Amino acid sequence: MVILFDRFNLPEDVYEVIFATKQQKIVGKLLIKHIKEQGGEIGKTEMSMFATLLHEGEMITYIDEAPYKGKKVKISYNKRQFYDRILTPMKAMGLIDYDLYKKTYKISDKFNQAMIKVGLMWLREVRQGMPVAPQPGQK
């Protein structure tokens, strides 16, 4: 997944930076909210049940955006697309970790670590080949 953003018009909502469409943003936010409500970690079965609720259009929630702000809304999202466009990219970016041994998904801070690494990579690129300024007392 590629994240493109304008640093002068950075949205307040991190999900708008991460996801391409409004629907993906809503579903990604719902997933993180669901995991938080379950103590920050859910199993494979719970993830499958979440995806099935979305697929069947049975997910009912409040959305904090116009024109739905403050209203109960049924959310529908294809199960395969949920795994391909929401969960897999969130795992790849480090927003969600999957523990192979416990078979659980949990919210992760690896996204933050990756963004710091990208920033450091950019600093290294900028400084590469730049003339080194002489230190005081050197010729």
CA distance 14 to 126: 26
Band of pLDDT at residue 8, cut at 50, 70 and 90: very high
Residue with tokens 């949990």: 106
- Paired tokens of 113: 């670590």
What pLDDT score was predicted for residue 19?
92
pLDDT number for residue 42:
98
Domain spans in the chain, listed from the N-terminal domain onward: 10-127
> How do residues 12-56 score in pLDDT, each as one tens digit?
999 999 998 999 999 999 999 999 999 999 999 999 999 999 999
C-alpha count within 13 angstroms, C-beta hemisphere, residue 87: 22
CA pair distance 110, 114, nearest whole angstrom: 6
C-alpha pair distances (Å), 7 with each of 81, 122, 123, 133: 29, 15, 17, 30
Q: Tens of pLDDT along 87-120?
A: 999 999 999 999 999 999 999 999 999 999 999 9
